[in-house]
Structure 1
């Protein structure tokens, strides 16, 4: 599966973010905890460079907790402070400011030594589409979005949003989909719903999901769809047909595929992580 992007649009978004970086203290990089690498724009490191960063693994409630810990270790080894959150249910969001202060420890101490008065942390949230940026922004600023006005030296019209007294967010353009060659990344993004269903074949995604769960989470399919051990060992196409029959869809494999994909996305088959740390480590 190939996702297309347009260099002109990518260049524009990159330029806008680069211009706004100088106005913030820290970048909140938002990724999907189920695919911490596949949901990152590979150009992010080049764009952000040495700016302090807090990596937020969103939708952690849907991800394999063991894998999430391993991936947090991966980002920490790269020098980033990390935090697992679920913006939809507001879980972990209250820990963002304390974590940001850890990432900004040197700057805070430097400002204190210079006798500067403490002020709110200025941050921007960056992430590929559909990773939960809007939900997180709404959680941070609350229902009533307060505009704090233009800051000195900030280009006119740039919008700052206040989150309590300790955090101000700079409204930024979304970073578009990255260009990548690995079709596996496209499948992972599609299975989690990061790509519009109109652009994919749900039966392909159902087969991919069935194969993945049979391989990495044996027993989950048997438990969910009342399969025997032998049935769970079937190849994905035969498995799809078996589940379709058991759920009363008969030969309507499109409906069965839609159901399977929905249940994977919503966590009906349990928490899971598509980016396997042990495979990356090898």
Structure 2
């Protein structure tokens, strides 16, 4: 799947980040816990170089908890500040503020020694589309200020927002990079909904997703669809189609309809808690 997608607002956001990064005290980068490697934008690393940073793993309610903890340990072992959060249930949200206070302690003490007692920290929230940036801002601002939607491209422009923590946060549109050289990255971003379905072949996408799930989460599939699965992906796809009644005239499988159901079941968590990548994948990629 050769995906080349870089809307104009993303290019504009990159320019704005370059212009404003010196005004920011700390960067909060959000990554989807289901696909941490794929939701790591290499451009963000370059744009924010030299700034203190916290990595937030969002959507942990949809990810494999064991794999998420492996990622937390991996980051801690490498001296990287990382917190896993469930934004909807407010799990670990307060830990973000505690971590910011810890990281910025010296800077705040410095201002205090100069007589500035109530210095307002400025943070920038960054991430690719649909990882939960605006949802997090709304949670810590106690107000639905930032627009939220379960699809990419909802936030179109940057906006400063005051929070209950005494830190101003800059919400930015999701930034993808111009071209995905890795097919796996493109697929994973498509699975989790960071790329609009309208530009994708959803039938091929659902087949590839089912291929991954059959190999790694077969018991989840069997529990969800109440079918005994084989290692034959097409056979499994047809079995799901017949089970769900996704049929055309002549009892032919309606793959277009079926593909949307499978993708929806994965994205909503109906198939269970699933992680598409592990720290081992990153180590193998580097080596």
The answer, yes or no, to whether TM exceeds 0.5 is yes
Instruction: Give the equivalent residue in structure 2 for 1:202.
Output: 202
- Alpha-carbon distance in 2 for matches of 1:98, 1:207: 43
Does residue 234 (structure 1) correspond to residue 231 (structure 2)? The answer is yes
Instruction: Give the equivalent residue in structure 2 for 1:182.
Output: 182
Matching residue within 254, 257, 261 for 2:256: 254
- Alpha-carbon distance in 1 for matches of 2:215, 2:166: 45
> TM-score, normalized by length of structure 1?
0.85
- Alpha-carbon distance in 2 for matches of 1:5, 1:88: 29
Q: CA deviation at 1:204?
A: 1.4
What 5-or-longer segments of structure 2 have no aligned partner? 147-157, 248-252
Does residue 268 (structure 1) correspond to residue 270 (structure 2)? The answer is yes
C-alpha contact 1:145 1:162 (8 A) present in aligned 2: no
Alpha-carbon displacement from aligned partner over 1:21-77 (angstroms, at most 9, x marks no partner)? 111210110111111110121122211111000111111111111111222233334
- Alpha-carbon distance in 2 for matches of 1:77, 1:7: 36
C-alpha contact 2:37 2:277 (8 A) present in aligned 1: yes
Helix, strand or coil at the partner of 1:87: coil
The more displaced of 128-137 and 260-269 is 128-137
- Alpha-carbon distance in 2 for matches of 1:238, 1:195: 28
Helix, strand or coil at the partner of 2:3: coil
Is the alpha carbon distance of 1:6 and 1:210 closer, same or farther for their aligned partners in structure 2, counting shifts above 3 Å? Answer: closer
C-alpha contact 1:55 1:75 (8 A) present in aligned 2: no
Q: CA deviation at 1:266?
A: 0.7
- Alpha-carbon distance in 2 for matches of 1:279, 1:160: 36
The more displaced of 248-257 and 63-72 is 248-257
- Alpha-carbon distance in 1 for matches of 2:282, 2:119: 40
Does residue 35 (structure 1) correspond to residue 32 (structure 2)? The answer is no
Matching residue within 259, 279, 282 for 1:280: 282
Is the alpha carbon distance of 1:33 and 1:144 closer, same or farther for their aligned partners in structure 2, counting shifts above 3 Å? Answer: closer
- Alpha-carbon distance in 2 for matches of 1:8, 1:88: 30
> For the aligned residues, what is the CA RMSD?
2.4
C-alpha contact 1:42 1:178 (8 A) present in aligned 2: no
> TM-score, normalized by length of structure 2?
0.84
Q: CA deviation at 1:188?
A: 0.6
Is the alpha carbon distance of 1:252 and 1:144 closer, same or farther for their aligned partners in structure 2, counting shifts above 3 Å? Answer: closer
C-alpha contact 1:125 1:133 (8 A) present in aligned 2: yes
- Alpha-carbon distance in 1 for matches of 2:261, 2:46: 40
Helix, strand or coil at the partner of 2:231: coil
Q: CA deviation at 1:105?
A: 3.2
C-alpha contact 1:62 1:267 (8 A) present in aligned 2: yes
Q: CA deviation at 1:115?
A: 5.1
What 5-or-longer segments of structure 1 have no aligned partner? 147-157
